[in-house]
Each structure stands twice: as C-alpha cells, then as structure tokens.
Chains A and B, each alone.
Chain A
Amino acid sequence: MISKRFGFAGVIAAAALAVSTLVVPTASATTEIVVWADETRGPNLTKVIAAKGDWVPGYTIKIVTFSSYSALGAALDKATGTTGPDIFVGGNDWVVASAKSGKLAPVTLTASQKAQFTSSQLYDLTYAGKLYGVPLDINNVGMIYNTKLVTTAPKSFGDMVDFYKANKTKLSLKNGLCVTGGGMSWGALSVFSALGADPYLMTGRGKVDTARGFNPTTFGTNMKKYLIDPATGKSNGFWASSNTTCNDDFYSGKVPYSIIGNWEWKTYVDKGFAMNLQPVPSVKGGYGHMFGSVSGAFLTSFADKHGVAVGAKSLLVNFFASTAGQVAYEKIEGRPPAAKGAQADPTVSDAQKGFGVAASQAGIPQIGAILDNKAGGSNYWDSSSDYWTQTLINGKDATVEARKLAAIWRANVTAAQSLL
C-alpha cells in the first residue's frame, strides 16, 4: 500500500518535473541572428560585435564558437532548419557543397557594395551564378626570405635554386624552399605555377579559360632542371617534399625561402623577421600563381525559416562587408581584409598589406567547382600532393607523371564548366 502511494507520488513528481522543463524556452527569439564561427574567429567576432551593439537595428547577434574549423564544418554538415545558424564564417571551398545541398541562400549586393570587392573575390563565393556570401578576408600565401641568409629578393626561380646549390654545404641548408602555409597542395600551387603547371587559368575578363591547360612536357623539363637530382632521379633537396618541419627549419636558418600563410605573420614578426613578402618567382621571371581566395560570411537558408533573413542580410552588408566592420574585426583577427576601403585603412599592418600586394600580383580565385571535382579520377588536392610524392620521393619520371596530372586537371575543368 505504501509502495503504491509512493509510486503515485513518484509519477506525479516526475510529471511535475517534466512539465516544469517545458516552460523553459528552448528556441532562439526571432530577433536573434545566430552566427557560427571557429575557435579563432568566434571570440574576435564576439568582441567586435559587442563593442558596437547596433550593427543591425532591432536585432541582437549571438556568436556561437566551435572548438575548431573542422568542428564547425562537421556541425554545418549536420545543421538543419531547426538547429542551423543564420550566418556562418568559413572558407570559400565550402560554397559548392553547401549551395548544392540547399544550405545557403543567395545574397544580392548593391553596386556600391560590390565595388568594395574585386570580381575574383565575389567569384570565389559564387556558385551557379548566385552569390552566397560576402568576402571578409583574404586567404593567401606569400614567400618570405631570411635576410640573414639572402640579401636581395630573388628575381626568378632559378636564382633561388642557384643560391641553394651554392650555399647548401656552407650554410648547412636543409632545403632551399619549403611551404608552411597551406601544405603541399593549396600552399604549393605557387611552385607548380612557377614551373609551368596551373590547374586552370583566368581570362582577362575574370572567367576561367577552359581552353588552356598546362604543357606537361615543359613542366616536366622544368622539374628536372630545377628540382630533380639527375644522379638519383629524386629530389635535389631544394624544394622540401613535406611541410612538417618547415617553420622550424626557416626559423633556425636551415631554409632560406618559405611560403607562409597570411594568418601566420604575427609569429614571424615576433621572431624578428622582416615582412619582405612576394609571390614565388617563376622560371621565366614573372610570378607563379597562388590561390588568393577569400573567407566569407555566408547566408544560410535557415535564416528564412528563423524569420531573420532580412536581419541576417543586413548584418552581412552592415558589418561583414563594410569598411567599418572589417577594419574593427581585422584589427583583432590580423588577416588582410577583403574590402578595398578596409585595406586602405591606416590601422592595417604592413604585413597584412604585404600579403594583399602579393595577392594582387599573382592571386587567382580558388574555384571549388574545379578543385574539388573528381571527374578526372582525383581532385586537385590529392593529385597535386601525390605528384610531389611520386617524383621527389619515389623517383618516378617527372614528365610522365606530369602527363597524368595534366589529364586529371583537364578532365576536372571540363566537368566543372557547367557550374562556372
């Protein structure tokens, strides 16, 4: 009998407790714009947005920070209309997959807003003719040289190789050039391009030149001339075949030239290196192309379901795409801002400007529709890093492998044409 009474009491207590939880609001208010960002951008955005509370009159802004960039990506993969953000901040390489999957909503900018950005930057955030976000900052690399080892800026790729060969023993050099910013595919594009291999080229009108591929024989010949040791058929040591120790090797003077990412410059400045940045010089004396892509703030299709689409679009133009917003944000974030007005601001550091100049000299848009494409059997990212492995480490013929690489890249460009 007692047990039964307690039993009923228990059920009632449990039910009361359960009902009490139902009155706790679980959804965001409809005037709250939710922005997702990674572990570095999130705290910086929170500070900047809190410092000026009225970026979008009538709305509050909530920044949700994820523990890493990949955690943010994983959360976006799982995001639904109920759980997803209204805006997220990420790289342009997310545009294709997110737009194809219906997670992004298009944005229309006014002529004056568009004029703040280059056509290449806007192209980076475009899929199938629609713009899905606003450019926030530039992702690119620049080549830095150690002035304790090298006194003048190299004019051509051959200058660097000659310096390495002449000083390898004397200066105990481990390599001549290595890449720390972006690894052996993204960061190493400038070396591919400097030697004559580009996954695609742009026309003067800012479109992909689908008629032009690279010449594998010329590229293979350059590989053999500059990077391959004729005795072993493998790397001659100038170009490091992996990027695991590049930073430390450059700091310690074992590598005179290094390709660094624009998010890394503070460490180099702190260590006393001058920001003498330039693109990688090509074998002909010009510059090798490098990805001058942008990170952007993207509008999601969830914003409309949350009833804050207008507020979110206003946040994009009032804050993320504006000179005032980018200046305030990049002062903390430290990347080169994308907006022209922000780039000209006196608070932008020399290093940030240096990367901006390098991007303007040799940047090409990072087009996910081509680079992620696997129509040729592999995407750009895997095939490019495999090329270095097969030639520099495994000693396979650079021209033969270049032909395979050219075929893969050509097929990918052709397959992506309908999406450009």
Chain B
Amino acid sequence: MRGKFALIAKIVFLGFTTAILALLTESAFAQKQYVIGGFILVAALALNIVYLTSISVPFKFFLPGILFFIAFVIAPIFFTVQMSGFKYQTGNYIDKATALEQVISLGAQPDAQGTTFDITVGRNSSNEFAILVSDIANNKYFVSTPTQRVDVPAASATFNEYGVAIKAPNFNAMSADALAANDAYSKIRYKYEGDYYIAIESQNAGGVFRQELTYSAKTGVLTNIFTGATYVDNHRGNFAKVGDPTVLLSPGWRAPIWFENYSRLVTDQKVRTPLIRVFLWTFFFALFSVLSTFALGLILAMSLNRPIRGRRIYRSILILPYAMPSVMSILIWAGMFDSDFGAVNSILHTNIHWLQNPSLARSIVLLVNLWLGFPYFYLICSGSLQAIPNELLEAAAIDGANPRQVFRKITLPLLLQILSPLLIASFAFNFNNFNLIYLLTGGGPTQTLNGEIAGATDILISYTYKIAFGTNFQDFGLASAISVIIFLIVASISMYGLRRSKVMESFG
C-alpha cells in the first residue's frame, strides 16, 4: 500500500514537473531562446527516463543537482566567457539584422519643413490601401496609393468639422476597428512628390519623408543617395563612414571583438589604472578580513573555552551579530557613520565625514566586516578547539611547554589544518563581498575631479557592477572580461590553498 502511494505521488510530481518544463520549453522556443529551450527539453526527458525506469539508481540522487549545477553555475560561466569576447554595451545590444533594419528605417528623413497632413485611411476602387490626404493650408486634397496620386476636387469631397476630407469618389474609408486589426496599411509608403512619400504617423496623420540611406546586400554598403556618403561594417558592431571612421550610425549590434576586452585591461590606461588599484585593495581587503575575523573569533573562542561564570550568555551574545541579517547590520552601520545624523558623530560631538575620506572609509569597511565576520570564526573555532585532544595539551604542559608555546606549536597548527578550507572559502567570499561594499559605501568615495573612476572602497566585483550597470553607459563586454579574471583569480587561489592544506587528499 505504502509502495503504491509512493509510486502515485512520484508520477503525479513528475507529471506536474514535466508539464511545467514543457511550458517553459515552449515559451523559450517562442522567444527564439533555442539553447535554453533545448536544455529544458533535455532536462525534462532526463528526469522522466531516470525516475520512470531503473536505468541508474545513483542518478536518481544526482540528477537534480547536476541539472541545477549546469543551469546556475556552468551556464553563467559559459555565458560570461562568451560575452567577454563581444562588443556588448550601450548602443550595441541587438543583433546585426535588427540593427540594419533600424538604421535603414532611421535613414528616412522628413522634408525640410517637417510637413504633415491630416489623412483618412481606406481603400481605392481597386481595393488597394489608400489614404485621402487633406492639405488644408493649400486647400488641396488627393488620394494616394504606393504607385499613384490622384487629386480630388474639394467640391467632390466630404469633410468633417475640422475641415478634413473623409469621403471622396473611388475611396472608401475604413473603420478604426478594421485598421487596428490589420496594420499592413501603416507600412506602405504612399506617393507624394518626387522622391518624397507620405508615411503613416498616426490613425489620422501622415508625414512627408524621403529615404536617404539605401543598403546594398551584395556589397554590404549603406549609401546616402543625396550626399554620396557611404558606410561600411567596421567589424566592431557599427556602420562607419568611409573616410571618417569616427562617424558611426546608430544603433550598432553585438559584434565579436575576441580578446579586445581583455587587452583593454592592460592597454587602456582609463581601465588599467583603476583596475590595478582596485585589485590591490580587493586583495588586501579579503586577506585582512579573513585574518582579522579569524583572529578575533579564535581569541574569543579560547577565552570562552574554559569554564567561567555566565559562559552560555556570553556565547549567545557573541553569536548575535551573525544571527542578524547582514543587510540590516550593514545599513545600521552606514547610518551610524552618517555625517549628518549618525550616532558616531553625535556621541563624539564631532562633524567628521567618515565615508567621504578614503582612508576613513576603508577603515570603516574593515571594521564593519570584522563585526559581521568574527562570530562565524568564533563558532567554528569553538567547535574545533573541542576536537583537539586534551592529552596532547597535557603532555606538552608536562614536558614544560608554557601556554604560549602550547598555542604556537600545538593548538594553532592543528586548528589551521582543520580550518584551512574554511579560511580559503572565507577569502573567496570576501574577495566578492559585494553586499558590504554596495550597501555601506557604494564603493566611494570617488574623487572624480582627479580623474578617479573607481571609488576608494570599490572591490573588483563592485567595480565590475558599476561598469555593467552603474551609469547610463553600460559595458557588459568589459564587465564580463573582468568577471572572468575574478573567477580565475579566486579559483586559482582556492585550488592552491586546498592543495597546500592537503584537504582534498583526505577525501581519497
């Protein structure tokens, strides 16, 4: 009975999961996201095969984890690496075909006077789309189709209360509902004079334009037929003017530039200088944070590792900063150091702009991170200290070692062996500690008048965020390149640390 229930529950759960994944697949394919759609489809098939058959029992446990790992770890890394090879920034978001379509569309220029007419949309006697145009200022009326323009004597037209012609011989106006149901009429260029045509600008207005930019698919060249200027693909995501490549047509498109974003990190002084400064600070910040939080946590753990009155209460209090959501703690600290209403200035009766001075701001960042981080190390040091056999410490004491020697020669080495992976993980975490920087200082202060681009407390990840999302000009390609570098640095340091600590060997 229990087995049957479990089987039914499994099938129902699988049925719903498959249905949801099918819906997501359809949605992804509808949005032309073929890779995502394909992955979801494969995931749905794999789930059904693994759970409805006995093909592999271990896979029943591993498959969800593997799928999430691919979706949320491997895919973002792959996407970031891919984007780092593209010119992908404000002005270069869309694909080339769409960009070309829009460049040509923007190449239609209004006449010098910006002439517009009141129009009525309908069909002519041949059932073609046509517009009845009212040139009220000149008391002229005509019916226009893509190929011909037929004047309409005012006497033969019918007008509305604004003097706009709404009826004419051989012209049948269409209802608003009919026009809304099919917008094909709006894409037609209705004949006007010479090179000029009338384009639909709203349900009852049309503007006079002429197409100035033309595109040759054969040569890939855009030509302004009136000035003779030509524009070619500069292979960097834009059409550039021949003879003056600084003149670019908008919009551009996402174009591969291979390793240029990486080379900019070295060759472009505007990128390189702040990056080096930010990198050095990030490294110092991460290292200092790990060492300071570990040291304070260890001191407190050792202090409370002996029986003293009220130990439980002390322990509970020490864990409180860790129990409180870090976002809240950081915002409270930011408020405390506010120059106008902060508690610190209030208590000290000072008017110090704590977060406007680079050195003070950096010190505050380190202090707040110490506050947020020491309970974690206090907790794990407490547990680890209890794991060190008392016999070792007693034997050392009998051999004449003083407490300092016991700590240096026995306790600390043993602790480091146990805690190495956690120290490395803490370094990696602090290397990318975006929340702290973003919420406490926003990366500032930034002395922009002195040409600084990155703030004094910006770490690599907050600097990357600024490049990608910080201002109206977004450079996702460059931000992706920096992200890849961060990934390589953290991965290398972590691998080196784990090898040195020989932690992986214990897993055989």
- What is the interface of chain A, defined by CB distance below 8 A to chain B? 2-3, 6-7, 9-11, 13-15, 17-22, 26-27, 30-31, 56-59, 77, 80-83, 93-94, 96-97, 99-103, 105-111, 114, 128, 130, 241-242, 244-245, 301, 307-311, 313-314, 316-318, 368, 372, 374, 377-379, 382-383, 386-387, 389-390, 393-394, 401, 404-405, 408, 418
Contact = CB atoms under 8 A, between A and B. Distances in A.
B16 A101 contact: no
Given A97-B472, A102-B99, A111-B116, 6 more contacts: A10-B52, A15-B22, A81-B98, A101-B93, A241-B353, A308-B180
Contacts of A80: 31
A61 to B, nearest CB: 12
B176 A394 contact: no
A59 B7 CA distance: 51
Nearest to A383: B448
Contact of A386 (B186, B353, B449, B474): B449
B19 A14 contact: yes
Contacts of B201: 107-108, 313
Contacts of B448: 377-378, 382-383, 386, 408
Residue of A18, A30, A317 contacting most chain B CB atoms (<10 Å)? A18
Interface in B9-45: 10-12, 14-19, 21-23, 26-27, 30-32
A100 B27 contact: no
Contacts of B207: 108
B202 A314 contact: yes
A106 B92 CA distance: 18
B214 interface: no
B250 A109 contact: no
Interface stretch (B72-80, B146-154, B312-320, B333-341): B333-341
Interface residues of B, number: 79
Contact of A377 (B27, B202, B451): B451
6 contacts: A7-B53, A10-B52, A80-B31, A97-B474, A314-B204, A389-B356
Interface string B353-393: 10011000000000000000000000000000000000000
B205 A317 contact: yes
Given A21-B22, A401-B449, A102 B251 contact: yes
A246 B293 CA distance: 38
B18 A18 contact: yes
Contacts of B114: 108, 111, 114
Given A101-B94, A386-B449, A372 B340 contact: no
B176 A57 contact: yes
B23 A31 contact: no
Contacts of A77: 469, 474
Nearest 6 CB-CB pairings of A with B: A58-B180, A18-B22, A102-B251, A10-B11, A57-B176, A14-B18
Nearest to A243: B340
B205 to A, nearest CB: 6
Nearest to A110: B116
B352 to A, nearest CB: 10
A404 B340 contact: no
A241 B339 CA distance: 10
Given A368-B472, A394-B357, A401-B449, A100 B116 contact: no
Contacts of B193: none
Contacts of B473: 97, 372, 374
Given A10-B14, A393-B353, A418 B183 contact: no
B90 interface: yes
B23 A307 contact: no
Residue of A100, A313, A378 contacting most chain B CB atoms (<10 Å)? A100
Contacts of A245: 340-341
A158 B180 CA distance: 61
Nearest to A386: B448
A107 B209 CA distance: 12
A110 B205 contact: yes
Given A17-B19, A58-B180, A109 B353 contact: no
Contact of B11 (A7, A15, A26, A93): A7
B328 interface: no
B91 interface: yes
A58 B340 contact: no
A80 B33 CA distance: 12
B52 A11 contact: yes
B12 to A, nearest CB: 8
Residue of B31, B93, B118 contacting most chain A CB atoms (<10 Å)? B93
Given A15-B18, A18-B19, A401-B449, A109 B116 contact: yes
